[in-house]
Amino acid sequence: MKKITIDPVTRIEGHAKITIDLDADGKVADAKIHVTQYRGFEKFCEGRMYTEMPAITARTCGICPVSHVIASTKALDEILALTPPQAGINIRKIINLAQLLQSHTLNFFHLSSPDFIYGFDAPKEDRNIFKMMQTHPQMARDGINLRAFGQKIIEELGGKRIHPTGVVPGGAAHKIELSQKEVILAQIPDMLKIAQGALEFFKTNLHKFQKEIDSFAAFPSLFMALTNEDKTLEHYDGTLCFMDSEGNIIKDAIVPRDYKEFIGEAVENDSYLKSPYYKPLGYPQGMYRVGALARLNIALSCGTPLADKELENFKALGGGKPVLNSFYYHYARLIEIIYAIEKIEMLLNDDETMSETVKITSKVSKTRGVGCSEAPRGTLFHEYNVTKEGVITGVNLIIATGNNNLAMNAGVKQVAQAFVDSKNITDGALNRVEAVIRCFDPCLSCSTHALGIVSSKIEIVDHNKKIVKVIDRN
Amino acid sequence: MRVIVGYGNVLRGEDAFGVDVIKKLQKFYLKNTKLISAFQLTPEIVLELLEADEIIFIDACSNEKNHYTLACSLSEQSRFNFSHHISPKTIIAMLESLYDKHPNFFIYSMMTKSFDNIKNEKIYKMRIEQIVHHISSAQ
């Protein structure tokens, strides 16, 4: 038996290694993703004042800091027993959607599109952003413009593009000025055009990737997401919903503060990434997926016209049941980009948003708070325990990427079994093993709490557990 | 126009070298110069560089042996390691390929073996002054 190791995994955020175990016949027996970095936020936040938590936990990530700020301030809203004014909530929602938009844009235009343009078997020298800039310059410019749009909103309303400070317990730090609103609204038509163009490109090219659609983490699993009572798409409010692979709602209306009754957190000794699971089904049978695919499977509608039209097409892929193919995460993210642009426009045109009162203040009223929001990659939980003086005594974070850990591992195994031939290990096969992880758009720095330097390695281990080959993907 | 981009994490000691140089430069009146302070280089920063005839990137650079040496270097770990933060080389490639812009560019790096704290504040500040003097006197 041999083991193949992909280390570092490329075009993802963070450090990871993949090992592929081969049996005595040289067939793939198992495959795993190992997240090799440790952060430790849960421990070093202990002893800090609750007021510091949004700023500290935003440093968990340079790409989705807004999600952490939102979940953190929502947890503190509970501790302070505050309900922010509607204007403050709307500002938070706009910033959250702007981040979703820029993050999804980065994944599609800059990380994943080289595979869609040149194919998974293209020489790796061609499968990158540099080649794309030469052959598809307009697409690259579109990606830059769309990301700039999201980042600018975060900067304008949140104070900074990265690690914004404008989301605070009790609401938002500043009201939106009319001039800011007008500048954002003026860009909406162009941004929608870019987003719709990207989705059209993806749909037009989908037929080239049937093998990948069928083998990239395409299996039954549960799905979890925040959703509203009427099952409209939600990224900020709502309650938690679990759906099975047949489309049955198996548990609905879970208040986020009760998450521990339904979500267990397993730890494997070969990865720093926790493996959350749906408690009633046990570990690992309680595997579930989160993120754009889960959100669109659970949502009955987006609540915005253009996204709703695309959601209909998306739902048709599942034939009345949830879409189980993780390759369609890309599809779902593109629909969510359209949704985010439309929703930002709706929120900006809501009269409440422009209200002068954007926050309220209070003192510590409860000793436990849970904040939950939909990050680009899925459902994010921040739980804090504090003393009555406001000193943090306990922190638990369930990061969006971690929720997908079991599914990513199952996906890596499925792809390795479909494409890796131990007698002829091609770069295309190894690229697919990485690409299945990229479907989930994992943020590994975020999920284990290290520097955002990308890395990737593949190890091949024989049936005697001896490493027979190491492939460095750099 | 000349654009000077200093980048780094101000919470991480010497990693903040580029940002600290920009803070100093803000006290000077530099003609026809735009100063940008950033946590990291991201793709959309190219939109702020389109008017530039000359770009100066200022950063701290990992080097175990030559701590506090000032250098001009375009080296990077891997040109394909593209995630949410990118290198000056990628930024220049984007300007050339996507916008047909071909500015002169320079990279001023301070070598450090200590991103997480300032090992010798006196030397650190001296290096900032050296870069600031070099840039401001080149007007």
Name the band, by pLDDT with cuts 50, 70 and 90, for residue A17: confident
Name the band, by pLDDT with cuts 50, 70 and 90, for residue A234: very high
Is the distance from CB of B126 to CB of B69 less than 8 angstroms?
no
Calpha distance A356→A350 (Å, rounded):
13
Instruction: Choose among A62, A134, A141: nearest Cβ to B84.
Output: A62
pLDDT over 90 (residue A462): no
Q: Any idea which of A333-342, A375-384, A420-429 has the lowest mean pLDDT?
A: A420-429
Calpha distance B5→B19 (Å, rounded):
8
pLDDT over 90 (residue B138): no
Break chain B down into helix, strand, coil percent, rounded to 5. 35, 25, 45
- In this predicted model, what pLDDT tens digit does every residue of A101-112 receive, in sequence order? 999 998 899 888
Name the band, by pLDDT with cuts 50, 70 and 90, for residue A7: low
The angle at the Cα of B105, spanning B100 to B108, to the nearest 5 degrees, equals 150
What is the average per-residue pLDDT within A131-150? Answer: 94
What radius of gyration do chain B's Cα atoms show?
A: 14
Strands B33-38 and B2-7: parallel
Check residue A2 and give its pLDDT: 65
Check residue B78 and give its pLDDT: 41
Name the band, by pLDDT with cuts 50, 70 and 90, for residue A9: low
Name the band, by pLDDT with cuts 50, 70 and 90, for residue B85: low
Is the distance from CB of B22 to CB of B58 less than 8 angstroms?
yes
Calpha distance A466→A278 (Å, rounded):
35
Cβ pair A474:B11 closer than 8 A: no
pTM of the model: 0.90
What is the average per-residue pLDDT within A71-82? Answer: 97
Count the neighbouring beta carbons within 10 Å of the beta carbon of residue A49: 11
Q: Classify the phi-psi angles of A230: left when phi > 0, otherwise alpha if psi is within -120 to 50, otherwise beta.
A: alpha
Cβ contacts (< 8 Å) between B47 and chain A: which residues? 144-145, 148
Which spans in A63-136 are helix H?
65-79, 86-105, 113-118, 129-135
- In this predicted model, what pLDDT tens digit does every residue of B18-64 receive, in sequence order? 999 999 999 988 899 999 999 888 889 999 999 999 999 999 887 77
Cβ contacts (< 8 Å) between A141 and chain B: which residues? 98-99
Check residue A6 and give its pLDDT: 66
Would you mind telling me the total number of residues written for chain B in this entry? 139
Cβ pair B83:A151 closer than 8 A: no
Name the band, by pLDDT with cuts 50, 70 and 90, for residue B79: very low
Is the distance from CB of A231 to CB of A308 less than 8 angstroms?
no
Interface test with B, best of A12, A60, A454 (most B CBs within 10 A): A454
Cβ contacts (< 8 Å) between B93 and chain A: which residues? 130, 133
pLDDT over 90 (residue A39): no
DSSP assignment of A210-238 equals HHHHHHSSBS--EEEEEE-TT-BB-SSSS
Is the distance from CB of A80 to CB of A72 less than 8 angstroms?
no
Q: What domains sit in chain A, N to C, each tagged with a CATH number?
A: 1-37+407-474 (no CATH), 38-82+369-375+382-398 (no CATH), 84-218+325-361 (1.10.645.10), 219-304 (no CATH)
Check residue B74 and give its pLDDT: 54
Count the neighbouring beta carbons within 10 Å of the beta carbon of residue B47: 15
How large a percentage of chain A has pLDDT more than 70?
93
The angle at the Cα of A287, spanning A101 to A334, to the nearest 5 degrees, equals 20
Sign of CA dihedral B112, B74, B4, B129: positive
Residue A163 to chain B, least CA–CA distance (Å): 9
Could you tell me the two tokens for B45? 């920063």
| Distance, CA of A376 to chain centre | 4
Residue B115 to chain A, least CA–CA distance (Å): 12
- Give A120's contacts (C-beta < 8 A, 6+ positions apart): A209, A212, A428, A431, A432, A435
Q: Any idea which of A249-253, A411-415, B24-28, B67-71 has the lowest mean pLDDT?
A: B67-71
Q: Any idea which of A199-208, A282-291, A449-458 has the lowest mean pLDDT?
A: A449-458
What is the average per-residue pLDDT within A285-305? Answer: 98
Calpha distance A403→A293 (Å, rounded):
13
Interface test with B, best of A63, A133, A138, A144 (most B CBs within 10 A): A144
pLDDT over 70 (residue A11): no
Chain A residues with CB-CB distance to B under 8 A? 10-13, 59, 62-63, 106, 110-111, 124, 128-130, 133-134, 137, 140-141, 143-145, 147-148, 151, 160-163, 452-455, 474
Residue A419, classified by CB atoms within 10 Å of its CB into exposed (0-12), middle (13-18) or buried (19+), is: buried
What is the average per-residue pLDDT within B89-113? Answer: 92
- Give A26's contacts (C-beta < 8 A, 6+ positions apart): A2, A421, A422, A423
| Of A462 and A21, more confident | A21
Give, in order, the Cα–Cα distances in Å from A356 to each of A172, A173, A178, A359, B28.
Answer: 11, 11, 12, 9, 38
pLDDT over 80 (residue A8): no
The answer to whether residue B100 neighbours chain A at the CB level (below 8 Å) is: no
What is the average per-residue pLDDT within A103-122? Answer: 90
What is the average per-residue pLDDT within A80-88? Answer: 96
Long-range contacts of A39-43 (CB under 8 A, 24+ apart): A39/A445, A39/A448, A39/A449, A39/A450, A40/A449, A41/A395, A41/A397, A41/A449, A42/A395, A42/A396, A42/A397, A42/A449, A43/A395
Is the distance from CB of A283 to CB of A268 less than 8 angstroms?
no
Instruction: Choose among A128, A145, A452: nearest Cβ to B84.
Output: A452
Check residue A230 and give its pLDDT: 96
Calpha distance B20→A343 (Å, rounded):
38
CATH code assigned to B2-136: 3.40.50.1450
Strand order in the sheet with A392-398: A368-375, A378-386, A392-398
Calpha distance A191→A184 (Å, rounded):
10
Check residue A453 and give its pLDDT: 31
Closest CA to A241 of A315, A323, A298: A298
Instruction: Choose among B11, B44, B84: nearest Cβ to A13.
Output: B84
Check residue B84 and give its pLDDT: 52
For the question of an ipTM over 0.90, the answer is no
Residue A104 to chain B, least CA–CA distance (Å): 11
Interface test with A, best of B15, B62, B78, B83 (most A CBs within 10 A): B83
Cβ pair B43:A454 closer than 8 A: no
Check residue A101 and give its pLDDT: 96
Q: What is the DSSP letter of A318?
A: T
Check residue A171 and give its pLDDT: 95
Is the distance from CB of A34 to CB of A10 less than 8 angstroms?
no
Check residue B9 and give its pLDDT: 86
Q: Any idea which of A404-408, B58-62, B129-133 has the lowest mean pLDDT?
A: B58-62
Q: Classify the phi-psi angles of A231: left when phi > 0, otherwise alpha if psi is within -120 to 50, otherwise beta.
A: left
pLDDT over 80 (residue A450): no
Quote the mean pLDDT of chain A.
90
The angle at the Cα of A421, spanning A416 to A422, to the nearest 5 degrees, equals 105
Name the band, by pLDDT with cuts 50, 70 and 90, for residue A420: confident
Largest CA distance in chain A: 70
- Give A274's contacts (C-beta < 8 A, 6+ positions apart): A265, A266, A267, A398, A402, A405
Question: Does residue A261 sit in helix, strand or coil?
Answer: helix
pLDDT over 50 (residue A452): no
How large a percentage of chain A has pLDDT more than 90?
69
| Of A360 and A61, more confident | A360
Question: Does residue B60 sit in helix, strand or coil?
Answer: strand
A&B contacts, CB < 8 Å: 77
Q: Any idea which of A165-169, A322-326, B73-77 has the lowest mean pLDDT?
A: B73-77
What is the average per-residue pLDDT within A344-373? Answer: 95
Calpha distance A241→A255 (Å, rounded):
9
Give, in order, the Cα–Cα distances in Å from A150 to each of A6, A154, B45.
Answer: 33, 6, 13
pLDDT over 50 (residue A387): yes
What is the average per-residue pLDDT within A181-198? Answer: 98
Cβ pair A62:B39 closer than 8 A: yes
Cβ pair A62:B78 closer than 8 A: no
Check residue A446 and give its pLDDT: 53
Interface of B with A in 49-78 (CB under 8 A): 77-78
| Distance, CA of A29 to chain centre | 29
Residue A335 to chain B, least CA–CA distance (Å): 21
Name the band, by pLDDT with cuts 50, 70 and 90, for residue A429: confident
Instruction: Choose among A63, A163, A455: nearest Cβ to B84.
Output: A63
Count the neighbouring beta carbons within 10 Å of the beta carbon of residue B80: 18
Count the neighbouring beta carbons within 10 Å of the beta carbon of residue A92: 27
